[in-house]
Chain A
């Protein structure tokens, strides 16, 4: 089953083409990294996947629901951590989570139990009563991840969620996302840092608005390190180059 499918997506900001005929599949229960340098079009792609704006052509399916035809069913299956924090700094961690849950129609005692469980998972329970303003970057990110999981989505989108975090916090968040994939969640993790991608992860390389390659990270890397392969591809690629690694398990 496909967890997330994008097909033929294009988008432009005026004359600037941000995405050009982008297509990829993320299998259910897989961690898939969307790797691209700054300005590759990752955030625009996230805008389309979350229906903040709509592409003039192409389709997006989230857990089998067409985002254009059944947006409510599709969005209900989606948890999102945006690149820029979307927490209310003047509310406590628990208040932020309650607000987000209410936007998904969750309420009552069950919700309280879900919030506790989500905070426990990310070791944030003891900070539930603290205002977000007082938290460090790592704890804020963990709060956002807990919030994205509250409504038990099957697909989780994370747009450069480790930006601004120290090495330990980055590793903790990355490891947690991998564990979520092992537990059955479909993960799309946008990043420009190759060390966040593990060899067995699925990988989509986005550059200059187009998909340069897709497959497993180790297949794309070949006999080079992923960092070297990524740099060689993105420094030499032209907007017309598109290659797909054949035989990949993606």
Chain B
């Protein structure tokens, strides 16, 4: 058991050290959602009228609405960043060190996921602190209640990153992930606009948004930020996390390592 805890601690610490060494990554991770919050939201506020929908008890500003979506955005981009670093590790060879450990490969990948999620959560709290400094605040209890929601959502998106890293052959192919995974996942969700608003424009787009696991991750975070529990969102997010984790384990199974790709 000690071996498992030791490896978890070491992998999380390495992820943290790597993050600390990449200050630009931290700044970029914060600037992106802050631009959305402080620039785009100001413009969209006039264009979008929001009715009172749960978990909100009153009319809210657009900035308040998109905060949970932007928390999700940080988790999404960080999950993909983690995936990118896994592809880099594989290309540079350091992935081999991890994969030749005598500990079960599934556990080692889980440790990677936890490390990635922990870094993401730190970034989300930094973002929430800056948002609060600009007057966009949540109920006090919500800042605590959101922690498990962020963890579940972070693990789900990190697992998606793991799946992608097992599929991507070369670092150069990663640009495609931006176009075909990150952007569709983000824009086809409830991060920037409520689903009923999407339904007014297109039923099909609404249905796609409704099955997008990122939508459920955002709703889980949204409700948790207001101290409320969203069971269906938790269920869908956990289900997606389980599917992505299973696919990642298959992707990194040595017996299934695709012919033609060197680890």
Decide yes or no whether B93 CB sits under 8 A from chain A: yes
Beta-carbon nearest neighbor of A51 in chain B? B254
Q: Which of A86-94, A117-125, A194-202, A206-214 contacts B (4 or more CB under 8 A)?
A: A86-94
The residue of chain B having its C-beta at the shortest distance from the C-beta of A56 within the complex is: B255
> Chain B residues with Cβ under 8 A from A98's Cβ?
10
Q: Is B3 at the interface (CB under 8 A from chain A)? A: yes
For window 87-138 of A, CB contacts with B under 8 Å fall at 87-88, 90-91, 95, 98-100, 102-107
C-beta contact mask, A206-229 vs B, less than 8 Å → 1, else 0? Answer: 000000000000000000000000
Residues B92-141 near A (CB distance < 8 A): 92-94, 96-104, 108
State which of A72, A86, A105 has its C-beta within 8 Å of the C-beta of B6. A105
A23 and B216 CA atoms in complex are apart in Å by 53
How close is A235's CB to chain B, nearest CB, in angstroms? Answer: 27
Selected interface stretch from B13-21, B54-62, B165-173, B218-226:
B13-21
Of A13, A95, A102, A106, most buried by chain B (CB within 10 Å of CB) is A102
Q: A82-B93, A107-B2 are in contact. Are A52 and B9 (CB under 8 A)?
A: no
Per the bound structure, the CA–CA distance linking A74 and B9 in Å amounts to 24
Instruction: Kindly state whether residue B231 has any CB partner on chain A within 8 Å.
Output: no
Contact A51 B100, beta carbon cutoff 8 Å: yes
Across-interface contacts of A85 in B (CB, < 8 A): 93
Q: Are A86 and B96 in contact (CB under 8 A)?
A: yes
User: Known: A13-B260, A103-B108. Contact between A86 and B254, CB under 8 A?
Assistant: no
Of A53, A54, A73, A86, which one neighbours B97 at CB under 8 angstroms? A86
In the complex, what residue of chain B is closest to A88 when comparing beta carbons?
B94
Q: Which residues of chain B are near A71, meaning CB under 8 Å? A: 102
Identify A53's interface contact among B6, B21, B254, CB under 8 A. Answer: B254
Q: What are the residues of chain B within 8 A of A105 when measuring CB–CB?
A: 2-4, 6-7, 102-103
Asked whether, in the complex, the Cβ of B100 is within 8 Å of the Cβ of A99, the reply is no
Query: Chain B nearest CB: distance from A14 CB in Å?
Result: 5
Complex interface bits, A143-173 against B, C-beta within 8 A gives 1, otherwise 0:
0000000000000000000000000000000
Q: Which of A50-92 contact B (CB under 8 A)?
A: 50-54, 71-76, 78, 80, 82, 84-88, 90-91
Chain A nearest CB: distance from B9 CB in Å?
7
Query: Which residue of A53, A84, A103 is within 8 Å of B7 (Cβ)?
Result: A103
Closest to A76 in B: B102
Q: Is A91 a contact partner of B103 (Cβ separation < 8 A)?
A: no
A interface footprint on B80-102 (CB within 8 Å = 1, 0 otherwise): 00000000000011101111111
| A99-B10, A102-B9, A105-B6 given; A87·B259 CB < 8 A | no
Neighbour of B99 across the interface among A52, A73, A76, A106, CB < 8 A: A52
Which residues on the A side are within 8 Å of B102 (C-beta)? 71-76, 104-105
| Chain A residue with the shortest CB-CB distance to B95 | A86
Residues of B within 8 A of A43 (CB): 262
- Is the contact region of chain B dominated by helix, strand, or loop, or is it mixed? helix
Q: Which residue of A lies closest to B100 (CB)?
A: A50
In the complex, A184 has a CB within 8 A of chain B:
no
Question: How far, in angstroms, from A188 to B169 measured CA to CA in the complex?
Answer: 29
A90 — which chain B residues lie within 8 A by C-beta? 17-18, 21
Chain B nearest Cβ from A12, distance in angstroms = 6
- Among A52, A80, A99, point to the contact of B257 (Cβ < 8 A): A52
A47 near B: Cβ within 8 Å?
yes
A103 touches B96 (CB 8 A): no
Complex-state Cα separation, A72 to B102, whole angstroms: 4
The residue of chain A having its C-beta at the shortest distance from the C-beta of B257 within the complex is A53
Q: Tell yes or no: B147 within 8 A of A by CB.
A: no
In the bound assembly, the distance between CA atoms of A87 and B92 in angstroms comes to 9
A47 in contact with B263 (CB, 8 Å)? yes
Shortest Cβ distance from A49 into B: residue: B100
A81 CB, nearest partner CB in chain B, Å: 11
- Interchain residue pairs with CB less than 8 A apart (26): A13-B260, A14-B259, A14-B260, A43-B262, A47-B262, A47-B263, A72-B103, A74-B102, A75-B102, A85-B93, A86-B92, A86-B93, A86-B96, A86-B97, A88-B18, A88-B94, A90-B17, A90-B21, A98-B10, A102-B9, A102-B10, A102-B11, A103-B10, A103-B11, A105-B7, A107-B2
Q: Give chain A's interface residues, CB within 8 Å of chain B.
A: 12-14, 43, 47, 50-54, 71-76, 78, 80, 82, 84-88, 90-91, 95, 98-100, 102-107
* Given A53-B254, A82-B93, A86-B93, 4 extra CB contacts under 8 A: A13-B260, A14-B260, A47-B263, A103-B98
The 6 closest A-B pairs by CB, nearest first: A105-B3, A102-B10, A84-B93, A103-B101, A75-B102, A53-B257
